[in-house]
Amino acid sequence: MSRTRLLRTAWSGAAAADDAAAEIRAQLAGPAAPALVLVFCSVRYDLDRLAAALARCFGDVPVVGCTSAGELTPDGYREGGIVAVAFPREAFSFAIHRVDAVSRFTMADAKPAVRSLLARAETGAARLGRDTRRVCLFLVDGLCMREELLVSAIHDALGDVPLIGGSAGDDLGFHRTFVLHDGAVHSDAALLLILTTTRPVTTFRNQHFVHADRKMVVTGADPARRIVTEINAEPAAREYARLVGLEGEPLTPMIFATHPVVVRTGGEYYVRAIQRVNDDDSLTFFCAVDEGIVLTVASGIDIVRNLEELFQRMEREVGRPELVLGFDCVFRALELEQKQLKQAVAPLLRHNGVVGFCTYGEQFNAMHVNQTFTGLAIGAS
């Protein structure tokens, strides 16, 4: 069901694309004209049909989004459907730019694209008045392996505008992911949205892991393919399994979710999540990892209490959020499922208006990160 606030949200688990689009349109209907509809959806749909149906349903209102590895809905974690947010025109303005062929993107491409985007954002937001805030929302093909370059270059070009976003998923298939824009879906692409609003907003990055004393040195790697071949001069998968106490056990996404590794950068620890083990005992990561990097096995803390503290901080900054646009690593969802905590977390998400999707990676300013909950909290007017 949709929320009754001005920032309206919707969820549909309808199997057919046309039915799902119609349900989303009906739930988002209200007195406030939308400036934009943001959607996150499963790859189980006929995506071309879904994109076209959404475009028909909303007419001149832009509909943008991406595919997911699970959805954060008004009722908590769900899978196999579509979740949406309608941003009211009275308090929001958007400028949109699609980056095609991100596999060929260079640092030099960032500045002219961002400069044009910021100029359009300035023009479009003039109707909101002078007391506004801006944030860049970033959605990207989650299998492009180019997020580090993209976010570094784009954040540098944005100046003091914060950047927040997520990498599209495909329900843990790791075959193909998409962004949705202009009535169609696009792979090897990214979306940049400058959100301008009169509402109080704050961006956040949250993780529930602390570093332990079990260290590993990457002694063989192919950073461009995000593959680590050796750890401590041993086959990477075998050495990882030994260090986490699971020697001889099959390495599954659930194990990677509950036994992550972290790297220290700029005095802070960031998770470097493992995507899969390969036939040659190498490990594929969700982030680039180079030779010589020291990784540390991380230990989890109480994820529910960690979220409670995050929402308490948000409330001090923007009041009780009307909406939290959340980008949540799919491995966090797997961990919650393994520990049977999804039901415990659902009321927290619902109370704080969390809507978003489970990602293949998260972006926070100039960083591409893993196994975090990042996003944008939007207060009431």
Average pLDDT over residues 85-114: 96
Average pLDDT over residues 240-259: 88
Share of the chain above pLDDT 90, in %: 76
Q: Is the pLDDT of residue 52 over 60?
A: yes
Q: Is the pLDDT of residue 260 over 90?
A: no
Find, among 135, 176, 114, 92, the residue nearest to 364 by Cα.
Answer: 135
pLDDT, greater one: 194 or 3: 194
pTM as predicted:
0.89
Q: Is the pLDDT of residue 11 over 50?
A: yes
2 pLDDT band (50/70/90 cuts)?
very low
Find residue 215's DSSP bridge partners: 296
Q: Is the pLDDT of residue 3 over 50?
A: no
Query: Are the C-beta atoms of 198 and 381 separated by less than 8 Å?
Result: yes
Q: Is the pLDDT of residue 329 over 90?
A: yes
122 pLDDT band (50/70/90 cuts)?
very high
For residue range 203-231, list pLDDT tens digits in order: 999 888 766 678 899 999 999 899 999 99
- Domains, the chain: 8-206+305-378 (no CATH), 211-300 (2.40.30)
187 pLDDT band (50/70/90 cuts)?
very high
pLDDT of residue 231: 96
pLDDT of residue 1: 38
Average pLDDT over residues 187-199: 97
Average pLDDT over residues 33-49: 97
pLDDT, greater one: 264 or 81: 81
Average pLDDT over residues 63-79: 96
Q: Is the pLDDT of residue 4 over 50?
A: no
298 pLDDT band (50/70/90 cuts)?
confident
5 pLDDT band (50/70/90 cuts)?
low
Average pLDDT over residues 179-195: 98
Quote the mean pLDDT of the chain.
92
Structure-token match 């997020």, residue found? 147
